[in-house]
Amino acid sequence: MSNSSDFSSLPRPPAAGRPIDPFIVMDVMSDANQREAAGEDIIHMEVGQPATPAPRAARERAARAIAEEKLGYTLSLGLPALRERIATHIQDSYGVRVGTERIVVTAGSSAGFVLAFLAILDHGDSFGLPSPGYPCYRQILKALGFRPHLIDTDDGGRWMPTTEDVDALAAAGAAGLLLASPNNPTGTMAIGTRLPELADACSRQGLWLISDEIYHGLEYAAAAETVLAYSDAAIVVNSFSKYFSMTGWRVGWLVVPEALTRTIERLAQNLYIAPPTISQVAALGAFDGIDELEEIRSRYARNRSLLLNELPAAGLERILPADGAFYLYADIRGLADDSVVFAQTMLRDIGVAATPGIDFDPLHGRSYLRFSYAGAEDEMHEAARRIATWLKTR
């Protein structure tokens, strides 16, 4: 009889499954949670997760649905009422009218990226990703058999790609560009004429443009613009996770050219059947909680101002003021050579968890550290105090 724990006879996994890197922020959170469970006082600045629950209106609507409704499958494209409400939200927020037929409800933005990539790319295609950027973009592309084409950006350009980068993508044979504004991890945005210029450049070069707009609503100076104002061919990915404070509900949406709707519907039918019904019901309720959500955004703004004052005074002097989201991307050169070791030491010494930049930028990330200020205000004050004291004694 064979030993049930002997896996030597199993076939090797396919090549597409082997190069996937860990999502480091989740590893940091796991370490922080273990320390917290052991009794340590941990301040979580590693994960981009609101400290608040879903808005009351969302939770109340979900509770009523659990008590009164069947909660079976919805259509693969999502609840018609939610698709209509998202279209209204887009018009109210940006003054852009989008037909409901172009809106696809997804199981979080992660499912949205999977559906978008599969709908527009062929096996082996490359896709442009500004770096630093959300690490799951490149891992999803690799897992699906596509190739991430990293675009090196810097703080001088506010960590945003340029039209020259679009031209270079086209010359390299890439299929398109993914733009996030506000960006994770830097919090910077495509301001001024940058967004329409990038949309025009992608159109001119015949490239797909995917706009990650999941941090829209979380801006502190100028409002973010949607690419839908400049292109009917672009794909928008959005989510209820960040502004709407619904990370664990796993519900988001796509806005796609109408010609892609049926393709994405077929993919969604086979991959997901439908988004979670209870989450869609809660998302409908979330639109009735805007006053509550705006107060949460004001809290983030206060956290941002605090840290932009306190962290440079503590020694983290090179931080480009973030336009939106809830992140600060700090240059730690002069303090340490390796942000991975720096983050591990900071967590061990003072119980402040942050994410090494290597998660977001394989080339330059060891020189940077990302802090999330989505936590409670008293926690941000305490984190600033601990960091200042710690850096003085290093």
What residue spans of the chain are helical by DSSP H? Answer: 24-37, 56-68, 80-94, 108-120, 135-143, 163-171, 194-205, 261-271, 277-286, 290-314, 339-350, 377-393
Residue closest to 117 by CA, chosen among 87, 90, 148: 148
**Does residue 18 surpass a pLDDT of 60?**
no
Q: What are the sequence ranges of the domains in the chain?
A: 15-53+291-393, 58-287
Predicted local confidence at residue 8, as pLDDT: 60
Contact 214, 239 (CB under 8 A): yes
CA distance 246 to 54: 5
CA distance 308 to 294: 21
CATH tag, 58-287: 3.40.640.10
Exposure on the CB side of residue 236, measured as CA atoms within 13 A: 28
CB atoms under 10 Å from CB of 6, counted, come to: 8
Which percentage of the chain shows pLDDT scores above 70?
95
CATH tag, 15-53+291-393: 3.40.640.10
Mean pLDDT of the chain: 94
Residue closest to 173 by CA, chosen among 198, 197, 149, 152: 149
**Does residue 14 surpass a pLDDT of 80?**
no
**Does residue 9 surpass a pLDDT of 70?**
no
pLDDT digits (tens, 9 = 90+) for 218-231: 999 899 999 999 99
**Does residue 1 surpass a pLDDT of 70?**
no
**Does residue 284 surpass a pLDDT of 80?**
yes
- The structure tokens listed for 198 are 């990038």
CA distance 245 to 54: 5
Question: Using the 8-state DSSP alphabet, how is residue 22 labeled?
Answer: P
3-state secondary structure 300-339: HHHHHHHHHHHHHHHCCCEECCCCECCEEEEECCCCCCCH
Structural Rg of the chain based on CA atoms: 21
Mean pLDDT to the nearest integer, 74-80: 98
Lowest mean pLDDT among 22-26, 105-109, 152-156, 360-364: 22-26
Question: Using the 8-state DSSP alphabet, how is residue 44 labeled?
Answer: E
Q: What are phi and psi of 260, to 5 degrees?
A: -95, -10
First to last CA, the chain: 58
Predicted local confidence at residue 20, as pLDDT: 78
Predicted local confidence at residue 22, as pLDDT: 81
- The structure tokens listed for 141 are 């592309």
CA distance 95 to 87: 11
Predicted local confidence at residue 2, as pLDDT: 45
| pLDDT band at residue 5 using 50, 70 and 90 as cut-offs | low
**Does residue 391 surpass a pLDDT of 50?**
yes
Contact 314, 387 (CB under 8 A): yes
**Does residue 115 surpass a pLDDT of 70?**
yes
CA distance 130 to 365: 13
Question: Using the 8-state DSSP alphabet, how is residue 357 labeled?
Answer: G
Print burial letters for 343-365: b (CB count within 10 Å at least 16), e (below 16).
beebbeebbbbbbbbbbbbbebb
**Crossing angle, helix 108-120 and helix 261-271, to 10 degrees?**
120
| pLDDT band at residue 143 using 50, 70 and 90 as cut-offs | very high
pLDDT digits (tens, 9 = 90+) for 370-379: 999 999 999 9
Contact 288, 56 (CB under 8 A): no
Lowest mean pLDDT among 3-12, 185-194, 339-348: 3-12
Predicted local confidence at residue 15, as pLDDT: 57
pLDDT digits (tens, 9 = 90+) for 152-176: 999 999 999 999 999 999 999 999 9
Predicted local confidence at residue 221, as pLDDT: 87
Predicted local confidence at residue 7, as pLDDT: 56
